[in-house]
Amino acid sequence: MPTKVKCLASLEAGKYPVPSTVARRDLRSDDIEIKILYCGICHSDIHHVRSNWGPDGYGYPVVPGHEIVGKVFRVGLEVSKFKVGDSVGVGCMVDSCQTCATCKNDREQYCNSTTFTYGSLDRRDGSRTYGGYTETIVVTEKFVLSIPETLDLAGAAPLLCAGITTYSPLRRWDTHPGSKVGVVGLGGLGHMALKLAKAMGADVTLFSRSQGKAEDAKRLGADQFVISSDPEQMKAVAGQFDLIIDTVPYNHDVNPYVKALVPEGSLVLVGYFGPLEPTVNSAPLVLRSQNLAGSLIGGIKETQEMLDFCGQHKIMSDIEVINARDLHSAYERLVKGDVMQRFVIDITTL
């Protein structure tokens, strides 16, 4: 039978989550039930509960959270990879069709039937999916990830979204020792991009509008720091970068960053979903065979690879752990940019 669990839920469009309860489905033979210990707060959570992307298609309540870590609490009869007590994580997806070309190529994030961790419907029984602002979560074994023992669980939580969102383009564009990588913005995504690119051996530059970010950028691995609003500094780095990862979460002018690319270089957007203004000048893209691309998350195989890489290099997110009662103030601080990296909810405080 479904089990009621405590949670923080958005009960109607535009309303921040409040204490509530939701029903978790009973365990299937290939399911794992996880006792959640920590859940990171992603900007997507705020967009979702504030209806910035339109009203939720499946109604309310909505329980956000897709940066989930905890311990295996129960396993189904057919589960073989995990046992009770294992440290595990769940990211942005909890299921997919497993039969289409993208699923067979370990790119479940592109499946037309992907079941997202919250705000989706279970493809087998039609029940709503609820995210990590809850005591427990029930997930198909294939979509459960192993957390390396070398990682602190709270610091590992944001890797399930911010980590894979930045790791995936770094790998896809073959970052290696000697690569010149730029990162635009120093927030939850940007600081992970710095750490990961540096661990891959790249020469890394942070682009920021604020000189106040320079010290943090160097601490996180940046070799250079460029004030993006200074035309002279931007001119000085023109034509230098193999890859620039743009983590800015709102509309902005990307043309200066295109100019900073080498021929055949790539500018990859990971933080903004929407039209770009002013219009992107296609001339340098065509004349220098440059790429303007986007990237979301990775598949389950790549996400586990990212976690193992982070475990090997002891890479975790810089975090601020909060009590569940402080969620609303954390949301407001995140909206205002009053946090350097990532908030993580201590779910035991529900």
* β-pair type (291-294, 261-269): parallel
Shared domain for 18 and 119, answered yes or no, is yes
CA distance 24 to 149: 28
The neighbouring-strand residues paired with 227 are: 208
Residue 284 corresponds to which amino acid? P
Q: In this structure, is residue 100 part of a structural domain?
A: yes
Shared domain for 148 and 176, answered yes or no, is no
Shared domain for 207 and 289, answered yes or no, is yes
pLDDT tens digits in sequence order for the chain, 350 residues long = 788 999 999 998 889 999 999 999 999 999 999 999 999 999 899 988 887 766 666 778 999 999 999 999 999 999 999 999 999 999 999 999 999 999 999 999 999 999 999 989 999 999 899 999 999 999 999 999 999 999 999 999 999 999 999 999 999 999 999 999 999 999 899 999 999 999 999 999 999 998 999 999 999 999 999 999 999 999 999 999 999 999 998 899 999 999 999 999 999 999 998 899 999 999 999 999 999 999 999 999 999 999 999 999 999 999 999 999 999 999 999 888 777 779 999 999 99
Q: Nearest to residue 344, comparing CAs of 186, 167, 156?
A: 156
List of residues 6+ apart from 72 with CB closer than 8 A: 32, 33, 34, 35, 82, 83, 84, 85, 86, 88
Shared domain for 137 and 204, answered yes or no, is no
Q: Nearest to residue 257, comparing CAs of 249, 266, 66, 277?
A: 266
Q: In this structure, is residue 250 part of a structural domain?
A: yes
Give one DSSP letter per residue of 237-282, joined into a string: TTT-EEEEEE---S----HHHHHTEEEEEEEEE-S--S--SSPP-H
Number of domains in the chain: 2
Residue 231 corresponds to which amino acid? P
Other C-beta atoms lying within 10 Å of the C-beta of residue 191: 29
Dihedral-angle region of residue 65 (phi above 0 means left; psi in -120 to 50 means alpha; beta otherwise): left
Q: In this structure, is residue 308 part of a structural domain?
A: no
Q: In this structure, is residue 267 part of a structural domain?
A: yes
List of residues 6+ apart from 254 with CB closer than 8 A: 246, 267, 269, 276, 280, 292
**What Rg, from alpha-carbon coordinates, does the chain have?**
20
Shared domain for 140 and 172, answered yes or no, is no
Q: In this structure, is residue 303 part of a structural domain?
A: no
Shared domain for 154 and 181, answered yes or no, is no
Q: In this structure, is residue 201 part of a structural domain?
A: yes
CA distance 169 to 179: 13
CATH number at 138 reads: 3.90.180.10
Residue 245 lies in domain: 162-294
Shared domain for 26 and 66, answered yes or no, is yes
Shared domain for 168 and 155, answered yes or no, is no
Assigned token pair, 295: 């990237």
CATH number at 229 reads: 3.40.50.720
Shared domain for 146 and 288, answered yes or no, is no
Shared domain for 21 and 105, answered yes or no, is yes
Which of 262, 294, 326 marks a domain boundary?
A: 294
Q: What is the reported pLDDT for 255?
A: 97
DSSP 133: S
Q: In this structure, is residue 310 part of a structural domain?
A: no
Answer yes or no: are the C-beta atoms of 186 and 340 closer than 8 Å: yes
Shared domain for 75 and 218, answered yes or no, is no
Shared domain for 172 and 77, answered yes or no, is no
List of residues 6+ apart from 197 with CB closer than 8 A: 170, 175, 179, 181, 183, 204, 221, 245
